[in-house]
Amino acid sequence: MSDSVAVVWDDALLGYTMGGEHPMHPVRLDLTIQLADSLGVLANDRITVVKPEPADVDLLTLVHDPAYLEAVRRAPGDPGVGHGLGTDDNPIFPGMYDAAALITGGSVQAARLVHEGRSQHAINISGGLHHAMRDRAAGFCVFNDAAVAIAWLLAQGYERIAYVDIDVHHGDGVQAAFYDDPRVLTVSVHQTPLTLFPGTGFPEETGDPDKALGSAVNLALPNGTDDSAWLRAFSAVVPGALRAFQPQILVTQCGCDAHHEDPMADLALTVDGQRASYRALHDLAHELSDGRWIALGGGGYGLVRCVPRAWTHLIAEASGDRLDPATEIPESWREDVVRRGLRARPPTHMTEGGYTGFAHWDPFTESRVDRAILRTRHASYPYFGLDPDDPRD
Ligand SMILES: [Zn+2]
Ligand SMILES: [Zn+2]
């Protein structure tokens, strides 16, 4: 059960916009907040909506090089600035520095509220920009808000922070930021890097060999993985690793681009599976970290049919009042989608009838997803003192 939940939101967060044809259009965030509001989710007694403040240079340089910050600031007037900026993936846009700094400030604020005990859980759906690196933009991400928030938590004295990333893409920027730091366990569940950007996230990436072996866990799933297989894989790897690590606080990146209609990737989750994944993360926060949970957004390019439903479920889950799967979507929200001229057909219900039951992992089966599970367990579980072949762990 939750006691208090902060939802970081301000319409100014919609200023992170890479252009009308860019996949990561901020309308996805706007429609999410509108949907959550129209269903009464934001009116829950336990939820407080808080406005973010932009991250200052001291915060941003916890993760990023000063020269890169300067490049981001200069970019709108200097398109040849480099650092991954000005590409198709990471186009330069007016106000880019301020927009990215505001998102990062929102994630740090979420971390601060949870750290100070003012909120048990805090959510920043605009955050989770997990591909940004120390000195360059990547994969639509300018500043790595997740890494900055974690670095800020480390500065408050945490010794064991778990970061769990369920975006369909590998959480490479966050992994890189803490690859040599045993205080941060990064766990990423994603589509195999053999078929998807950024091409990293193999199970054998387990942390810096000299300083932090075992501090990175990577579960790389085959194309086409559906709800049942995804949940089977998650439950075979993530809870065991987290229970062994005993995190004091949990940061999750809840990118929803593993959805079957997502135009960027090839996994096959439904909103039902995503809803179940948020419940699993929420349960782990209560079981292991006294409820201290910071949930960030991330990828998700089903602007109308996936992101708004998925992250409305995330907010509802955190509030402790889950939305019934049969919940109908208000006509006013559907009309708004049409009025905005968006091409996708607005959904009618909050879920899709996906089947989220799954059989417990079994080391003696030979499905593709079980082979993926086994490979990750063999790469990582010995570092936690766990038997990779024991299905009870
Ligand atoms: Zn809770
Ligand atoms: Zn993604």
Question: pLDDT tens-digit profile of 246-298?
Answer: 999 999 999 999 999 999 999 999 999 999 999 999 999 999 999 999 999 99
Give which of 382, 356, 71, 68 is closest to 226, Cα–Cα.
356
Per residue in 81-105, pLDDT (tens digit) is: 999 999 999 999 999 999 999 999 9
- Reported as a pLDDT band with limits 50, 70 and 90, residue 364 is confident
**Could you give the percent of the chain with pLDDT greater than 90?**
96
DSSP tag of 133: B
Which ligand is closest in space to the CA of residue 255? Answer: 2
| Dihedral class, residue 89 (left if φ above 0, else alpha if ψ from -120 to 50, else beta) | alpha
Which entry of 131, 190, 259, 260 is annotated as an active-site residue?
131
**Radius of gyration in angstroms for the set of CA atoms belonging to the chain, rounded to a whole number:** 19
The CA-atom distances, in angstroms, between 312 and each of 205, 254, 319 are: 33, 12, 11
Neighbours of ion ligand 1 (CB under 5 A): 2
Buried/exposed 358-376: b ≥16 CB within 10 Å, e otherwise? beebeeeeeeebbebbbbb
| Average pLDDT, integer, range 68-73 | 98
> Would you tell me how many other CB atoms lie within 10 Å of the CB of residue 129?
32
5-384: which CATH architecture?
3-Layer(aba) Sandwich (3.40)
pLDDT in tens, 138-182: 999 999 999 999 999 999 999 999 999 999 999 999 999 999 999
Query: Rounded to the nearest whole angstrom, what is the distance from the C-alpha of residue 188 to the centroid of ligand 2?
Result: 11
- Active-site residue flag, 131: yes
Ligand nearest to the CA of 267: 2
Ligand nearest to the CA of 140: 2
DSSP designation for 262: -
Query: What is the per-residue pLDDT for 246?
Result: 98
pLDDT of residue 2: 74
**Distance (Å) from CA 294 to ligand 1 centroid:** 11
Q: Which ligand is nearest to the CA of 119?
A: 1
Least confident of 21-30, 257-266, 315-324, 384-393: 384-393
Q: What's the 314 CA to ligand 1 centre distance in angstroms? A: 11
Strands (E), 210-358: 216-221, 249-253, 293-296
If one compares 207 and 2, the residue with the highest pLDDT of the two is 207
Per cent of the chain over pLDDT 70 is: 100
Q: List phi, psi (to 5°) of 305.
A: -95, -15
Q: Residue 300 Cα, ligand 2 centroid: separation in angstroms?
A: 6
pLDDT tens digits for 206-247?
999 999 999 999 999 999 999 999 999 999 999 999 999 999
Between the alpha carbon of residue 114 and those of residues 23, 44, 147, the distances in Å are 31, 18, 16
For ligand 2, the distance from its centroid to the CA atom of residue 145, given in whole angstroms, is: 15
3-state class of 249 per DSSP?
A: strand
Residue 1 pLDDT greater than 70, yes or no: no
- Tell me how far apart the alpha carbons of residues 237 and 234 are, in angstroms, rounded to a whole number: 5
Measured in angstroms, how far is the CA atom of residue 294 from the centroid of ligand 2?
18
Mean pLDDT, rounded, of the chain: 97
Confidence of residue 393 (pLDDT cuts 50, 70, 90): confident
Closest-approaching ligand to the CA atom of 281: 1
**For the chain, first and last CA: distance in Å?**
25
Residue 338 pLDDT > 70: yes
Contact 99, 105 (CB under 8 A): no
CA of 286 to the centre of ligand 1 (A): 6
Rounded (5°) CA angle 183-252-124: 120
Cα-to-centroid distance, 279 and ligand 1 (Å): 9
